[in-house]
Amino acid sequence: MVVEEIRSEQHFEQIIADNPKVLIDFWAPWCGPCKAMTPTFEQLAAERTEQFKAVKANVDDLPSLAQKYGIRSIPALLMLNKNMVTGEHVGAAPKQEIVAWLDQH
């Protein structure tokens, strides 16, 4: 699978240590818009494997990670480049909008 589920903060730290560019999808199982965004996120992750590592973070399981990055609404995409936030996109959106956002980051 192209998209990796973050299991713990230690797992996340290892991912960002091993990958200079990481796209995080903050989500929750009860979130309808999050479920709607999953196919788009997975498609983009598969299409752009050479550009970034794609991961998902369940905010219910990892509330401290969501808090660390100031995530208050989901779904939220966060782009990290060398552990620095370079972009954030909040809310469900069509694929072309996410593509345009990714192209800026």
All domains of the chain in start order, with CATH: 4-104 (3.40.30.10)
Catalytic residue, chosen from 31, 37, 54, 59, is 31
What value does the CA radius of gyration of the chain take, rounded to a whole number of Å?
12
User: pLDDT of 51-66, one tens digit each?
Assistant: 999 999 999 999 999 9
Query: How much is the pLDDT for 62?
Result: 96
pLDDT band at 1; cut points 50, 70, 90: low
Catalytic residue, chosen from 22, 34, 54, 65, is 34
Judge whether 34 counts as a catalytic residue: yes
From residue 72, how far is each of 27, 49, 100 by CA, in Å? Answer: 11, 27, 23
Judge whether 79 counts as a catalytic residue: no
User: pLDDT of 70-102, one tens digit each?
Assistant: 999 999 999 999 989 999 999 999 999 999 999
Query: What is the model's pTM?
Result: 0.93
